[in-house]
Amino acid sequence: MHIHILGICGTFMGGLAALAREAGHKVTGCDAGVYPPMSDQLRSLGIELIEGFDADQMRLNPDVYVIGNVVSRARLADGSPKFPLMEAILESGATYTSGPQWLAEHVLHHPSQPRHVLAVAGTHGKTTTTSMLAWILQAAGLEPGFLVGGVPMNFGVSARLGRLSTPAEVVAHQRTPFVIEADEYDTAFFDKRSKFVHYHPRTAILNNLEFDHADIFDNLAAIERQFHHLVRTVPGSGRVVVNADEDSLQRVLAQGCWSGVAKFGVSANAQGPEGWSMQGEPDNFAVLHHGQEVGRVQWDITGVHNQLNALAAIAAAEHLGVSPAQAAASLTEFQNVRRRMEVRGTVARTGGDITVYDDFAHHPTAIRTTVDGLRRKVGPKARILAVFEPRSNTMKLGTMKSQLPWSLEDADLAFCHSGGLDWDAVEALSPMGARASVAGSVDGVIAQVVAAARAGDHVLCMSNGGFGGIHSKLLAALAK
């Protein structure tokens, strides 16, 4: 089969392209501003990339066009279509589908290769928890397939097919595992359901649930409804692993649940008959099931949020027969995901090096938990300089601007890149007083950080984009 992917450089669609190529399909694709590292990864797989969405790509005549949610029926100021290729596909009557639907039909639930799908959903922690779960299953010898919205450092790639079933396993309907990051964002311009509705998992993790994606959801109740659609697809023999401390997720389950439920968390809500909880600090903690210690995790990963991610992954792996002790022990070797508290470099200073980190945090809660995790690691006396850009669609809209001072309160200083915002970042951060600085350009932010930095500081850069290459620029500027 020849598939042509519109919007191929996104993390999901790029991973889908890699899986399709590994499965033996011919893959081509297009995007606006084809860019590395995804472009380099795809070209290394022999995938032809085309810049833009011009209609002349119809000459490729693929078997199916796979449409990413970057594509729309939008028109430019002069009335011409923003995506001429999509218009040509519709006019011609050519076959097209969404990325999640193609993935479900050709990878997750292909008749010749049945899979036990483990889907990881939640406002925060999807990428990290998916990576943890894939690593636990790999360490247990199950050779899972996976699709992650990042690059797990234990694997070095964002997607792989994993072990294929033997003929005997296919006859017996034995399913090999596939772990997927299950995003609640909509599927395509012609399918406004959340992506994860297509995946039909046997094991589903509901990690947490807050309001996000204000560009497509009116309120939290609308997102809860989509999460319940996911719950509806889990079979009776399946398992829903749910954060017991999230009221929003309890409301989701209250709408109906027809499968087994395993709860996890830090409060008494998670300590019931099927509960999973923890005891200890983030770098060394016991895993408790039924209130009894069943494993211990010792690692260099920071933050209570990652303890919760680990509990969810361990509870999900247990559904496939991996013992909690084995799962916990394997996490000792977990190397995290690129852009999750990743040290980008240090600058030598008398009295202590300045360390620069990169993290994907962009929602206020994620920013708060990330700063808290670093604070626990470096201690109360070290200074944390939080550098961030409100880049997600929700943050650009200003929906959560009032939460920023709360999210940054454990940082000593905060530096905001306000370029492209339609709201006043200075006003939003005013409760922080002199601890907060705002600049309209990356160079302006760098100048502010360099002027404020001292020996021994920890500079935490947070964005869900490239942030204008701030990490290397900041390291160079500090080195001067």
The residue whose two tokens read 């500027």 is 477
113 pLDDT band (50/70/90 cuts)? confident
Give residue 240's pLDDT. Answer: 97
Give residue 227's pLDDT. Answer: 94
Give residue 235's pLDDT. Answer: 97
Q: How far is CA 69 from CA 11, 51, 98, 114, 286, in A?
A: 12, 17, 8, 27, 41
The residue whose two tokens read 């929003």 is 248
Give residue 363's pLDDT. Answer: 78
Find, among 119, 139, 140, the residue nearest to 129 by Cα.
119
Average pLDDT estimate for 301-318: 92
Find, among 194, 57, 19, the residue nearest to 123 by Cα.
194
Give residue 267's pLDDT. Answer: 67
Average pLDDT estimate for 307-317: 95
Give residue 329's pLDDT. Answer: 96
> 177-216, pLDDT tens digit by residue?
999 999 988 999 999 999 999 999 999 999 988 877 667 7
16 pLDDT band (50/70/90 cuts)? very high
272 pLDDT band (50/70/90 cuts)? low
Least confident window among 85-94, 179-188, 202-211, 461-470: 461-470
Question: Do 144 and 176 contact (CB within 8 A), yes or no?
Answer: yes
In the chain, % of residues over pLDDT 90: 57
Average pLDDT estimate for 388-392: 81
Average pLDDT estimate for 221-250: 94
How much is the pTM? 0.82
Domains of the chain: 2-98 (3.40.50.720), 109-333 (3.40.1190.10), 342-479 (3.90.190.20)
Helical (H) or strand (E) element with 452 = helix 442-452
Is the pLDDT score of 415 beyond 60?
yes
Chain-wide mean pLDDT for the chain?
Answer: 90
Is the pLDDT score of 156 beyond 60?
yes
Q: Tell me the C-alpha distance between 169 and 136, whole Å.
A: 22
Is the pLDDT score of 171 beyond 80?
no
The secondary structure of 96-155 as a DSSP string is EEEHHHHHIIIIIT-TTS-EEEEEEE-SS-HHHHHHHHHHHHHHTT---EEE-SS-BTTT
Give residue 424's pLDDT. Answer: 86
36 pLDDT band (50/70/90 cuts)? low
Query: In the sheet that 413-417 helps form, which strands lie side by side, from edge to edge?
Result: 342-347, 354-359, 458-462, 384-388, 413-417, 436-439
Most confident segment among 36-40, 110-114, 361-365, 395-399: 110-114
Radius of gyration of the chain (CA): 23
Average pLDDT estimate for 336-357: 85
Give residue 273's pLDDT. Answer: 62
Is the pLDDT score of 309 beyond 60?
yes
Is the pLDDT score of 268 beyond 60?
no
Q: Tell me the C-alpha distance between 249 and 227, whole Å.
A: 8
Number of H helices, E strands in the chain: 16, 23
Is the pLDDT score of 136 beyond 90?
yes
Q: Tell me the C-alpha distance between 354 and 88, whole Å.
A: 53
Q: Tell me the C-alpha distance between 338 and 316, whole Å.
A: 23
